[in-house]
Amino acid sequence: MSRALFHLLGVLWLCWCLTSIGEAQIEYLRYKDPKQSVQTRVRDLMSRMTLDEKIGQMVQIDRSVANANVMKTSFIGSVLSGGGSEPLPRATAEDWVNMINDFQKGALESRLGIPMIYGIDAVHGHNNVYNATIFPHNVGLGCTRDPNLAQRIGAATALEVRATGIPYVFAPCIAVCRDPRWGRCYESYSEDPKIVQEMTEIIPGLQGSIPANSRKGFPYVGGKTKVAACAKHFVGDGGTTKGINENNTVIDWHGLLSIHMPAYSDSIIKGVSTVMVSYSSWNGVRMHANRDLVTGFLKNTLKFKGFVISDWQGIDRLTSPPSSNYTYSVQASIEAGVDMVMVPFEYDKFIQDLTLLVKSNIIPMERIDDAVERILLVKFTMGLFENPLADTSLVNELGSQEHRDLAREAVRKSLVLLKNGKNESAPLLPLPKKVPKILVAGSHADNLGYQCGGWTIKWQGFSGNSDTRGTTILSAIKSAVDTSTEVVFRDNPDNEFVRSNNFEYAIVVVGEPPYAETAGDSTTLAMMESGPNVINNVCGTVKCVVVIISGRPIVIEPYVSSIDALVAAWLPGTEGQGVTDVLFGDYGFTGKLARTWFKSVDQLPMNFGDPHYDPLFPFGFGLTTESVKDLVARSTSAAVGARACIFTIIVTTLIISLYSTG
């Protein structure tokens, strides 16, 4: 009997031990338990991390130097695709998913299994990826004055990005471009901070709308069909002297707060997950080293709780020449409040320098903990620990017809009609679809790369029609006109050719070549060389509408008098049918200038409200037209009304006559 009791006690003891071990195991995995609060999970994981693991989380590297072993052994927190950095040419959504999952599996094999977050520029749709829907750049979207449209574009972009396995985008750019000479002006919605504020509605589109009880400043990402967004570039990047990229913004505190800061406040209220620091300076202080603004204002005053990320090699540029004192650059940027550092290639040096700075007590451990807590907060919030691996369930969202229809809508709403007829009594638009023969001319009429602009497939954009799928304006014209109408295309016709062909009218499509960042800085703001020649040869001979494809207002004042109709189409993206939708009157023109169109570059900078304001076309200008359908309906209604009026007069006259004779 005692032996049986002994065995029973032994079994009970064993059960107790196993239960205790199980509870300990559950306790150890608390940060992996989705039932725990995000804050609890962050604290638990932080308590288990070594300095090496924490610093690894602060590092973002380019995909070209990433592999599973690097992710595992260096504890890398993030990987990105820089402009044009892709798994292979014309990579499919499945190709992207497979590459990213390979990196993620390496991260998950690290000691604590912390998933990495993959980021990419998606500034006008999923712009690095073949076959994606390319929406109009922000310069055009600002002219729509339509925050709901921005929100819908954000939602569509999120789906296309997630289709390729990516959960994080470096968008939106909420710069307030105050000088069109800046090479990034097309990334800005407007010179007016109010319009830029309104268009931050793209953030709920990308991330999802924050719940009603959300705490201010905390990041929010609403599931597997949404992405973490990034408001950029903090702060004042659109106000640099003479529009020089990465230059100095000279403005007082009140000006910074009233012009360049409002959209950041709105973005934070909407739960934006990350903020990217600008290359530029404010009154001589580089933003990547500006502790007062990054930590003092963004984090402490605006209560931003997500993470702050550097721009591409942004900390290197704190010295001149770049990287000449790299240890100082690491110290200054981390002390300023940068949490994740985009060190695309030489990440080992960054890790070594930051580790030494911490171990030497130059950078306090509290600063490292603050950075890592913010990064982990975003990762937990977006569900990355529960769903670290991408799947192919959304691949059909990439370039879907629904998204292309949305982009087409965005194009037609962004177009601004600047002139319609050489006198008000003889408007040229809308154009008739059924005529014997028309001319389409200009370098931009049949060039998908030109109409998409920079940040498309490659960093600086591309030329031609083969790098992605879309519809050029020429193709759209051929589809829009009657089958009996002959469409003749010449990119640069001479005067004699135009005169001898008896065209009913001409559509001239000219503008700027693609560019990005500093490569787009311009002191002349001239259209491509052939543009003026085409305008002169065509518009001097036949009725013409000139469509300008550009990332900003450019010099057109010398040619306006010879042009019958003038349209600012900005950088419309892949859906050229949006242009023909309004040219031929399927829809009316509704866009209004979101930035001032100057007469001469000598006037710049010139913004609405300036004392020397004397524009060619003022901020807010834009002629409107009715669609052909509405015009017909109105004419029919008027005719019916006129007939009814005549009938009433006749009947009334007859009654009066009868009454008089009676």
Catalytic annotation, residues: 311, 517
DSSP alpha helix (H) spans, 208-361? 253-255, 262-269, 291, 326-336, 347-359
**Residue 153 in contact with residue 159, Cβ under 8 Å?**
no
Peptide bond into 233 cis (omega under 30): yes
Distance CA 595, CA 192 (A): 7
* Residue 567: strand pairing partners: 417, 547
Sort strands 285-286 and 281-282 into parallel, antiparallel or unpaired.
Answer: antiparallel
Distance CA 374, CA 337 (A): 11
Distance CA 623, CA 491 (A): 28
Length of the chain: 662
Sign of CA dihedral 26, 31, 33, 37: positive
Q: Which of 344, 348, 347, 350 is nearest to 328 (CA)?
A: 350
Buried b (16+ CB within 10 A) or exposed e, 443-474: bbbbbbbbbbbbbbbbbbbbeebebbbbbbbb
Q: Which of 401, 416, 487, 411 is nearest to 453 (CA)?
A: 411
Question: How many helices, marked H, and strands, marked E, lie in the chain?
Answer: 22, 17
**Residue 442 in contact with residue 592, Cβ under 8 Å?**
no
User: Which residues, other chains included, contact 433 with Cβ-Cβ below 8 Å and sequence gap of 6+?
Assistant: 480, 481, 482, 485, 584
Sort strands 437-441 and 506-511 into parallel, antiparallel or unpaired.
Answer: parallel
For 432, which DSSP code? P
DSSP codes, 52-108: HHHHHHTEEEEGGG--HHHHHHHT--EEEE-TT--SSTT--HHHHHHHHHHHHHHHH
